[in-house]
Amino acid sequence: MENNEVAKIPVWRLIGESGRKIEDVVARESPLTIFLNNQELVTLLCSPKDLGYLAIGFLFSEGLVGSKAEIKKVMVDQPRGVARVETEGADALADELVFKRFITSGCGRGASFYSAADVQNQVRVESQTQISTEQVHTLMKEFIRHSEVFKTTGGVHSAALCDTKSILVFNEDIGRHNAIDKIFGECLLEAIPTDGRLIITSGRISSEILLKVAKRNLPILISKSAPTDLGVKLADDLGITLLGFVRGKRINVYTNDWRIVNDGR
């Protein structure tokens, strides 16, 4: 674990009436301002690591970058919290379009994606990938082992790209959206295939997460946490197998359960 992602602070720890001053470790939170073709786009608050992956993953999730070929340059100034991305076809990206997207849907507090063109245009995931319950539990154990910053601070979300056997790409961030965007940014920049693979996340599954996953054509989404009804509906519509509350020996399979190989059906 890089020191950069955590900070030491003094804390007064009370247990019942008895207290002592100790040094504790918390997750760091830093701003990242993304410039796309010299236009300031957004400032995210994030864990100060892999900022280039975050910038690219964010732009991909927002539909502002479609492929690696479009990316001409990624410059990250980590100390100043700035990422500058240059893409091909910058002229085609009218100011108004960017503004409109960010106001109606880019705001991570919520988006109206599912009612917008994004969903209607989203192709169903047709991958034939299957996974056994045992493989799910093995991956989740591995995922929890990887989650160093969470274990130290309790203050971050984790995400991972896997095949059915092991974790291929892993990241953590104070934001659950950021953690997934970092994964996809790394996949895009390092040409790591996502088709037919799986995503594991520590976070709750809302509609926005489902759309991110569908955009990368991933057939299976696994979470330690709960989904929303809209998350379940989108998973169903988009052909994604959604697993929630994967804890201990338990799995909730919400949608497209034909991808789960299990004798106890």
Considering only 64-72, 99-107, 121-129, 187-195, which stretch makes contact with a second copy by CB under 8 A? 99-107
# binding residues, a second copy (CB under 8 A): 74
Residue from 73, 120, 128, 249 that binds a second copy (CB under 8 A)? 249
Asked if 226 contacts 245 with a C-beta cutoff of 8 angstroms, the reply is: yes
Query: Is 17 or 126 the residue whose CB approaches a second copy more closely?
Result: 17
Give the Cα separation of 57 and 182 in Å (integer): 6
CA-CA distances (angstroms) from residue 171 to 148, 152, 160, 256?
10, 15, 6, 27
Give the Cα separation of 212 and 105 in Å (integer): 13
Q: To the nearest whole angstrom, how small is the minimum distance from the Cβ of residue 102 to a second copy?
A: 5
Query: Is 129 or 225 the residue whose CB approaches a second copy more closely?
Result: 225
Q: To the nearest whole angstrom, how small is the minimum distance from the Cβ of residue 24 to a second copy?
A: 7
Q: What is the DSSP letter of 127?
A: -
Considering only 40-48, 70-78, 138-146, 160-168, which stretch makes contact with a second copy by CB under 8 A? 40-48
- Binding to a second copy by CB under 8 A, coded x per residue (else -) over 167-186, reads -------xx-xx--------
Stretch 101-120 residues interacting with a second copy (CB under 8 A): 102-112, 114-115
Residues sharing a CB contact under 8 Å with residue 84, sequence separation 6 or more, in sequence order: 35, 38, 73, 74, 75, 76, 77
Stretch 184-213 residues interacting with a second copy (CB under 8 A): 204, 206-208
Asked if 153 contacts 9 with a C-beta cutoff of 8 angstroms, the reply is: no
Token duo for residue 87: 């893409």
Give the Cα separation of 218 and 199 in Å (integer): 7
- Binding to a second copy by CB under 8 A, coded x per residue (else -) over 55-84, reads ------------------------------
Query: Is 15 or 191 the residue whose CB approaches a second copy more closely?
Result: 15
Q: Does 29 bind a second copy (CB under 8 A)?
A: yes
Coil/strand/helix, residue 180: helix
Considering only 118-126, 138-146, 153-161, 190-198, which stretch makes contact with a second copy by CB under 8 A? 153-161
Pairing of strands 39-46, 198-201: unpaired
Give the Cα separation of 34 and 44 in Å (integer): 8
Instruction: List the catalytic residues.
Output: 107
